[in-house]
Amino acid sequence: MTTDHAPASHSPTGRRTARSGHRRITTLRAATAEFWHHPSPWMIAVPLVGSLVARIALGDWQWTDALVVAILLAVSPVIEWLIHVGILHWRPRTVGGVKIDSILARDHRRHHQDPRDIPLIFIPWPVLVGLLPALTLIGVFAFSRVSLGMTFLLTVTAFLLFYEWTHFLIHTDYKPRHRPYRAVYKNHRFHHFKNEHYWYTVTTSGTADRLLGTYPDPAEVTTSKTAKNLHGSPS
């Protein structure tokens, strides 16, 4: 498996490289500082903290709260896989003279072209402008109890923040030190630098990929020529 290395300073706290958006980050402290310099973590943190405060204030804890959390955690790898395959790896097409190509798909192609470009690692903030209010409305109106809806919103936003952090950290120069993180690190690196048609999950490894047939033995997979140029497209 190859890795992506660009000319950079070897400072453990990180310094900007000659290329815009690149930063050599080798420590968790530097990673944390850089992470919070970007808009999406803050945007996600607002409804996360708000739902946490609301959930504690509302009380009314019931067994269904634990059930909602368990269901969301169980299906999150599959949802992550479906979004990655169906939305992020969407092949642009024209229907009735209209080109269908979302900002998520466009930015994801750019992300594959340059996995070290830090801003491209994060969920685009215009997407969150629509997604976070929608999740909030679901939490407030789609459940029999507002308190249960806040459990839903808290769980989903916590997962989104966890996803952003995991994906960001994988694309830094911080090396995995513990087995669980090492597994997701290798899984996502295989997706970027071995073959983009496999290893779609980011926060887990061997879960939805194994279930949906995209978790092969890396030694038996041919290195793709289009891992950095999805669909052979220029952007």
For the segment 143-155, what is each residue's pLDDT rounded down to a tens digit? 999 999 999 999 9
pLDDT bin (cut points 50, 70, 90) of residue 20 is low
Cα 183 from chain centroid? Answer: 16
In this structure, how many other beta carbons lie within 10 angstroms of the beta carbon of residue 134? Answer: 9
> Which tens digits make up the pLDDT trace of 60-72?
999 999 999 999 9
> What value, to the nearest 5°, has the Cα angle with vertex 213 and ends 210 and 219?
80
Written as six digits, the tokens of 29 are: 């402290």
- Beta-sheet strands, E only, within 46-97: 93-95
Angstrom distance (rounded) from CA 168 to CA 109: 16
- DSSP tally for the chain: helices H, then strands E: 8, 2
- Taking only the tens place, the pLDDT of each residue in 75-128 is 999 999 999 999 999 999 999 889 999 999 999 999 999 999 999 999 999 999
Q: Do you know the residue count of the chain?
A: 235
Residues in a beta bridge with 93: 100
Domain boundaries, the chain: 37-232
Token pair belonging to 4 = 């992506």
Closest by CA to 197, choosing from 209, 186, 208, 205, is 209
E strands of 70-112, at which residues?
93-95, 98-100
Over residues 154-183, the mean pLDDT reads 96
Which pTM value belongs to this model? 0.89
3-state secondary structure of 78: helix
